[in-house]
Amino acid sequence: MATLKAHALFLLVATTSALLLSSAVDAICVSRKPQSLESASLKTLPQTPASFKRPPSGPLASLSASFKKPLSNALASLSASKAAVVVDHMVADICHLTDYPDICISSVGAHLKGPADVLSLLAAEIEACTEKMKSAAAEVTKLAADPSASPATKMALSACDENYSSALDSLSSAQEAIAAHDAGTLNSELSAVITFVTTCDDSFAEMTMNSPLEGTGRILQKLGSNCLAIAARAHL
């Protein structure tokens, strides 16, 4: 009886040991599924902080803007400077075709509209001449109203008033001739402007008097001459 019990106990211990040994072997031998490189990379790579993804704000944004604005202004200024150089170059080239290039260059600037070419420069010089003619006419009116002016002076001034008025009409007709592409009328009207100005000066010379408008007359004659010279290069 004792022998049977001992034999049964031996079998139980042997069976238990075999089961434990089998579990250990399985644990050692079963291969683990390898982790993919991509998966590992995604898990191990550090994420970019959200603060780096947002545009700069606060003092950093102000600093960034402080650099951008001067740069933008500098580029705009450079572009404008280049355009001005081109315009000035064209103005100088055309004005040097006249007998009085310095007067041409100095007078057209305030009246030039659009790109500088022969026609735009001609229109600008006619406007400059018109402006100066109106100023001269106003000067004549002021001189004629002077109570101390002699009858001879007033007579000469009256002649100037008529001639300056006619010159203004001719300048207006010249502008219309440009629009109508009428080269013949343009040249005749601009020539008339010079004639009217000269007639004013002659009215004082005939009375052996110095003209108070002598300086003004010289400028008007030069402006008229420039208009004619530029008109000669215009292809209407």
* Separation CA 92–CA 230 (nearest Å): 12
pLDDT of residue 54: 58
Domain for residue 61, yes or no? Answer: no
Report H helices in 30-150. 37-44, 50-53, 59-95, 101-108, 118-144
Tell me the pLDDT tens digit for each residue of 80-139: 444 444 458 899 999 999 999 999 999 999 999 888 899 999 999 999 999 999 999 999
The domain that contains 165 carries what CATH number?
1.20.140.40
Domain for residue 179, yes or no? Answer: yes
Say if CB 148 and CB 157 are below 8 A apart: no
Q: How far is CA 11 from CA 2, 17, 20, 49, in A?
A: 14, 10, 14, 65
Domain for residue 39, yes or no? Answer: no
Q: Quote the mean pLDDT of the chain.
A: 78
User: At CA 192, angle to CA 191 and CA 198, rounded to 5?
Assistant: 100
**Predicted confidence band at 28 (pLDDT cuts at 50, 70, 90)?**
very low
Total number of domains constituting the chain: 1
Q: Which tokens hold the place of 152?
A: 């001879």
pTM: 0.64
Domain for residue 217, yes or no? Answer: yes
Domain for residue 206, yes or no? Answer: yes
Tell me the pLDDT tens digit for each residue of 169-194: 999 999 999 999 999 999 999 999 99
Domain for residue 181, yes or no? Answer: yes
Domain for residue 108, yes or no? Answer: yes
DSSP state of 45: S
Domain for residue 10, yes or no? Answer: no
- Provide the CA 31 distance to its chain's centre, in angstroms: 75
Domain holding 205, by residue range, is 88-233
Tell me the pLDDT tens digit for each residue of 206-236: 999 999 999 999 999 999 999 999 999 998 8
- The sign of the CA dihedral 122, 124, 128, 134 is positive
